[in-house]
Amino acid sequence: MTLMAAIQMASGPQVQANLMEAGRLIKEAAERSAKLVVLPETFAMMGANEADRVAIAETFGEGPIQAFISQQAKKHGVWIVAGTIPIRSDDPGRAYAASILYNDKGEAVARYDKIHLFDVLLSENQEVYTESDTTVPGHEAIVVDTPFGKLGMSVCYDLRFPELYRRLSARGAQILVIPSAFTELTGNAHWEALLRARAIENLCYVIAPGQGGYHVNGRTTYGHSMIIDYWGRIRGVQERGTGVVIAEIELAAQEQTRKTFPVLSHRCPESIQS
C-alpha cells in the first residue's frame, strides 16, 4: 500500500506567494507519508486574465516554477505531478498547459500537454471561457511507469471525454491524475459524477486535486478535491479551502478486482456498428 496526496489551493496572481503555499502543502503531504503528490491546475498563478498566464510561460526544462517543483520533489523525496505549468510554444501569444511529472530525485520524467480546451459559454451565469485563445492543445495520451503503478495523465476539461481515459486504461493505466480548476457552476453539476464514472468504467484510482475558492479574475472554483478508488468509492475529499487529501492506493486489491470483474477485457469496440 502507498499513500497518495491531492493538494487543493486557491491560487492568486502572485507566483511567489502561490509557490510558497504549494511548498507548505507539499511538505505537509510528505510529513503524512505521501509518496506521490498531485498539485491542481494553474497552481502557480490564477491571474486577472489568461494572458497573464502566457506572460509567465517558461521554456520546458528551465524557469523558476519548474526549478521550484524539482527542488521540492528532491527535498521531500516525493514524486510530484505539477498540475499545469505554462510552457512556451512557437506561438508567442499562446502556451501549452503542461502537466509535468517529477520523480523523487527532482527529474522531470514525463510531460502531458492538455488536449481538450475549455471554450464554452455557461448560459446560467453568462461566464465565457475561450482557453484556446491562449493555449496550444496537446495531442498525445501519456501513461508513465512509476514505483506506484502506471500513471495516466490528464487535466480538468479532459474529464468530459471518456475516450481519452479508455485509451489510457488500454495502455495499462492503474491511476488517473486529473489536476483541475473546475468552475463553481460546473463543479456543482458534474464534478463528482464524472470523476466516479472515470474511476468505475476503467477500474482505476483517480487523484483529482482542484482549485477551490474565489480568485481575482472574479471566478470561483469548486474545490472538492478527491481521491477515488477503482470501485468508485470516495477515499478522501477536501470540500473548501486549501488542504491535503491523503488516501491509500492498493494495487493488489485493484488487480484482484480486475481479474474477478474483468470489464476491461470485455470491451469490444470493433463489434459496434456505426
Rounded to the nearest 5 degrees, what angle is found at the Cα of 121, between the Cα atoms of 200 and 179?
40
Asked if 8 and 177 count as a contact pair (C-beta separation under 8 A), the reply is no
Q: Which of 50, 58, 114, 184 is catalytic?
A: 114
Query: Whose CA is closest to 114, among 147, 67, 81?
Result: 81
To the nearest 10°, report the CA torsion of 180, 185, 191, 193: -170
- In the chain, DSSP finds a helix count (H) and a strand count (E) of 7, 17
List the grid coordinates of 225.
478535491
Q: Which of 41, 50, 131, 184 is catalytic?
A: 41
Asked if 8 and 179 count as a contact pair (C-beta separation under 8 A), the reply is no
Q: Which of 35, 156, 184, 204 is catalytic?
A: 156
41 annotated active-site? yes
Q: How many CA atoms are closer than 13 Å to the CA of 23, on its beta-carbon side?
A: 16
Which are the catalytic amino acids?
41, 114, 156
